[in-house]
Amino acid sequence: MRPTTVATLVSVGALGLAACGGEEEPGAAARTNTQAAAPSQAMNGTGCRPVQTPAPKAVQELEAPSLALGGDGYIAVMETNCGTIEIELAAEEAPETVASFVSLARMDFFDDLTFHRIAQDPSGGDFVIQGGDPDGTGQGGPGYSVVEPPPEDVAYDRGTVAMAKTEIEDPGTSGSQFFIVTADSAQLPPDYALLGQVISGGDAVGAIADVDTDPTTEMPLAPVVIQEITITEGDRDR
């Protein structure tokens, strides 16, 4: 979804969170060729495979997870039609946020969801890609929220993965929507719960960022689908 205020960077949960940010979020910048691009053309040259748009999932009313993290670390392996992205989850810095994400992934919550927002900065450069909404519009979430403010020294640099919230929510509020920073630095305030860092698959992230979008909504003109997220804990698969 594309809210008109900066509070639209990333959505989370039953409160209808939609985007990644309050007034610090730059406005959406339209790509010069997106308005005329057909869905079949939107992925030309990106390396993404054409796929069908998944149906929105029913409204989610899940209970907050009670998972206690353990092991030597967690990695989320995200399979998309644009390639595989591996994210090292910040279990030490953000145990509650990571526990929620791991729980959702283990129940296949993210399977067949989309990256519904590909945002640029005002100059037309890369900014963030956003996904994890069961509704596919930027308005959905799991039915609960977690609040865990990020470390004070958090930097939303290229490859950082954090959780979305609206500008009216407390810092560190999250549900299921997340964003991956595609700019060198997103220049965001420390308001967004930290999830982790991309450690492999930067080419897939770049391919998603290159998909043509609607200039008004920032939604991709061809579907970018999360086919599966697998969690590895130490040397064990989920």
Work out the pLDDT band at 234, boundaries 50, 70, 90: confident
Q: Which residue has the higher pLDDT, 15 or 96?
A: 96
Q: What is the pLDDT of residues 158-214, one digit of tens each?
A: 999 999 999 999 999 999 999 999 999 999 999 999 999 999 999 999 999 999 999
How many domains does the chain divide into? 1
pLDDT at 46: 86
Residue 62 lies in a domain: no
Cα 113 from Cα 189, distance rounded (Å):
27
Residue 46 lies in a domain: no
Q: Which two tokens stand for residue 73?
A: 């670390």
Cα 183 from Cα 26, distance rounded (Å):
13
Cα 196 from Cα 199, distance rounded (Å):
9
Residue 154 domain boundaries: 74-237
Whose tokens are 């979020």? That residue is: 25
Residue 128 lies in a domain: yes
Cα 143 from Cα 152, distance rounded (Å):
27
pLDDT at 39: 67
Cα 153 from Cα 161, distance rounded (Å):
15
Q: What is the pLDDT of residues 121-156, one digit of tens each?
A: 988 899 999 999 999 999 999 999 999 999 999 999
Residue 68 lies in a domain: no
Residue 42 lies in a domain: no
Residue 57 lies in a domain: no
Q: Which residue has the higher pLDDT, 117 or 8?
A: 117
Residue 54 lies in a domain: no
pLDDT at 122: 86
**Residue 146's domain is classified under what CATH number?**
2.40.100.10
Q: What is the pLDDT of residues 14-62, one digit of tens each?
A: 333 355 433 333 333 333 343 445 666 888 888 999 999 999 999 999 9
Residue 200 lies in a domain: yes
Q: Which residue has the higher pLDDT, 108 or 8?
A: 108
Find the helix or strand (DSSP H, E) in which 198 lies.
Answer: strand 194-200
pLDDT at 17: 39
Q: Which residue has the higher pLDDT, 102 or 44?
A: 102
